[in-house]
Amino acid sequence: MADRMVLVYGDSNTHGTAPMATLGDIGRFGPAERWPGVLAAGLGEGWLVREEGLPGRTTVHPDPIEGVHKNGLAVLPAILESHRPVDVVVLMLGTNDLKHRFQVPAVEIGASVGLLVQAIRRSDCGPGMTQPAVLLVAPPPILEAGCLAEIFEGGAVKSQRLAATCAAVAKRHGVAFLNAGEVIVSSPLDGVHFDAAEHGKLGRAVAAALRKMPL
């Protein structure tokens, strides 16, 4: 039996960006520390985990400051095809949509996440040109803190509604769901990124969720 392929698709918290003291900080946790690495270790033999985490990645928005390539929906088909066959996509996006510059409510972030789920499910990138399964992970609430506070102004309140919104999206599309906010918290240093201990908790939680899925 071939190894089951897990594609982890997300933003800086999938990339492993460490909490930032200043905007110039670009530290990244090592492969074994960031949560996709913890996930891979937890799943063990018979699984392959591929990380696709881009700092600043949004659901569907080209970023007027950080670049059009931050649009997660636009690049998703190419990434799916490059890793084909993909048994399951672990999708965790939406945090960057909370930035003040985008001015979108939580319900529209959920709708955008739904477009990503549809793109994955409608692709033929699963084994034998089938649909990949999806585990939709709602990111934890953010804080408006530290060097990122102004960039995410107004986002903390909206982030409290993301879990319920994403849960509704998962139910509507018939995919698995995990609320990361029940497992981890965002760092008080910058309000957005995860400490190493939280990466460990999330990786283990995702591993447990994947083992329950009929893959």
Rounded average pLDDT over 44-70: 97
Q: Do 193 and 26 form a contact (C-beta atoms < 8 A)?
A: no
Euclidean distance between CA atoms 32 and 130, whole angstroms: 31
Q: Is the pLDDT of residue 146 over 80?
A: yes
Mean pLDDT of the residues in the chain: 97
Domain with 51 in it: 4-211
Going by pLDDT thresholds of 50, 70 and 90, the confidence category of residue 2 is confident
Strand 176-179 versus strand 133-138 pairing type = parallel
Q: Do 191 and 147 form a contact (C-beta atoms < 8 A)?
A: no
Going by pLDDT thresholds of 50, 70 and 90, the confidence category of residue 1 is low
The pLDDT, as a whole number, for residue 121 is 97
Sheet harboring 4-10: ordered strands across?
47-53, 4-10, 88-92, 133-138, 176-179
Rounded average pLDDT over 18-40: 97
Q: Which two tokens stand for residue 127?
A: 């084994």
Q: Is the pLDDT of residue 99 over 80?
A: yes
Count of the separate structural domains present in the chain: 1
Rounded average pLDDT over 127-134: 97
Q: Is the pLDDT of residue 144 over 90?
A: yes
Q: Which two tokens stand for residue 26?
A: 């670009």
Rounded average pLDDT over 76-105: 98
The pLDDT, as a whole number, for residue 59 is 98
Q: Which amino acid is at 193?
A: H
Euclidean distance between CA atoms 37 and 35, whole angstroms: 5
Residue 10: CATH number of its domain: 3.40.50.1110
Rounded average pLDDT over 176-205: 98
Q: Which two tokens stand for residue 3?
A: 């190894």
The pLDDT, as a whole number, for residue 159 is 98
Q: Is the pLDDT of residue 83 over 90?
A: yes
Ramachandran area for residue 136 (φ above 0: left; ψ -120 to 50: alpha; else beta): beta
Instruction: Please indicate whether residue 176 or residue 215 has the higher confidence score (pLDDT).
Output: 176
